[in-house]
Amino acid sequence: GSGRPFRTFNVIDDGSRESLVIEVDFSLPAERVVRVLEKIAGERGVPREIVVYDGPKFVSKALDLCAAQRGVALRFIRPGKPVENCFVESFNGTFRKDCLDAHWFEDLGHARRVIESWRQDYNNVRPHSGLGDLAPAEFAALREPPAPSGRQTPKSSSH
């Protein structure tokens, strides 16, 4: 491999503990973070708040503007207080130990494939003690609201 370090941007749903995305690249500027968050919002809806670290990629006009336009509160973790973001801290520890430390990545593409495979396993297979020993996706399925009324797929009827 190139030996070049890469970064990850991990997004967790605090309610279901699902890993919504692990974005992997050599650099993850604020505009890229905003694009990832916009994609998640398009797929899952807009959250009430996003808990973020006071790091450079999160303290940006782009993220502020995106959040303000969508009515999302940004709640910043105080420096040295990781307990204020305990679900992500727990996830990051598991991710580091069970994925990052357990693999030797040949290149960025290999890292992305291994990390995405691990993320799918984490969401769909791995039981979570905080969720009654269900996998995050199983727990999320139990929490899903019933389908909204409105546009429905028409059923064929025979006459």
Segment 33-90, tens digit of pLDDT: 889 988 998 988 888 888 877 666 566 777 888 888 888 888 777 777 766 677 788 8
Position 145 scores a pLDDT of 60
Least confident of 4-13, 106-115, 147-156: 147-156
The whole-angstrom separation of Cα 53 and Cα 7 is 15
Does 132 or 63 have the greater pLDDT score? 132
- Angle at the Cα of 74 from the Cα atoms of 72 and 79, rounded to 5 degrees: 170
Position 82 scores a pLDDT of 67
Position 56 scores a pLDDT of 60
Position 24 scores a pLDDT of 96
The whole-angstrom separation of Cα 103 and Cα 115 is 10
Position 153 scores a pLDDT of 40
Q: How far, rounded to the nearest angstrom, does the alpha carbon of residue 154 sit from its chain's CA centroid?
A: 34
Kindly tell me if the per-residue pLDDT of 8 is higher than 60. Answer: yes
Position 121 scores a pLDDT of 96
Position 114 scores a pLDDT of 98
Strands 73-76 and 49-52: parallel
Place of tokens 């959040």: 67
Position 78 scores a pLDDT of 73
The tens digit of pLDDT for each residue in 79-128 reads 777 666 777 888 889 999 999 999 999 999 999 999 999 999 999 999 98
Kindly tell me if the per-residue pLDDT of 149 is higher than 70. Answer: no
**3-state SS of the chain: helix, strand, coil percent to 5?**
45, 15, 40
